[in-house]
Amino acid sequence: MSDFFKTLKEPSEGIYKEKMSKFLSFAHPVNTAEEAKDIIKSYQKKYFDARHVCWAYMIGTNRSEFLSNDNGEPSGTAGKPILGQINSFELTNVVIVVVRYFGGIKLGTSGLIVAYREAAAEAIRNGEIIECHEMSAVEFTFPYLSMNDVMKTAKGNDVQILEQIFDNCCSMKLAIRSDLAEALSKKLSDIDGVCIVRITTMQ
């Protein structure tokens, strides 16, 4: 499995018009499904007067967590084309919402698929795609006397301190690129009294 993935640098928008219907599209980078669902809810609330608010999201470096919704459009004509564009651009950790204002003329199944696909693609094209490394969290405990050695390691260029507790028995949680996590864990384990609690992949 690759240790990097493509996502959007920041939120972006697009618009597609067809036979008087207007499709507003919004793409956001996210880290979890919960974050994606919160964004979807915010658009459902903001565009409460729209005929349809359809969406899709993809989460995880292995792109295994995804979901789409047609929100009342004929099955497979909205959510799947949106998700299809996420796949076409090889993105993950992203949610795309497409808001439709009905113009009075029915587009038909093929017309809807094209409209939702193009609206989603427009939002992606208007954003900046970046390549990110998969990150892992390394959690460990250590005695206070080993503080100096631990801090020297924790302040490396590729390491970010997420949590730290200093007491008689100290604990720390570090973020590092997944491909460097094992090496960091070994380096920490060589310090007196350090006990690795767990290494987990961060979404």
| Integer angstrom CA distances of residue 53 from 69, 84, 86, 101 | 9, 17, 17, 9
Q: How far is it, in rounded angstroms, from Cα 133 to Cα 6?
A: 9
Contact 176, 160 (CB under 8 A): yes
Strands 52-59 and 135-143: unpaired
* Angle at which helices 79-88 and 108-125 cross, to 10°: 40
- Answer whether residue 203 shows pLDDT above 60: no
pTM of the model: 0.75
What pLDDT shows up at residue 63? Answer: 84
Could you read off the pLDDT of 27-51 as tens digits, one per residue? 999 988 999 999 999 999 999 999 9
Cα–Cα distance, 187 to 155 (Å, whole number): 13
Contact 97, 54 (CB under 8 A): yes
Residue 3 has pLDDT above 80, yes or no: no
Which runs of consecutive H residues, i.e. helices, occur in the chain? 33-46, 79-88, 108-125, 147-154, 178-189
| Whether residue 1 has pLDDT greater than 50 | no
pLDDT in tens, 37-91: 999 999 999 999 999 999 999 998 888 899 999 998 999 999 999 999 999 999 9
Nearest alpha-carbon partner for 12 in 188, 130, 107, 109: 130
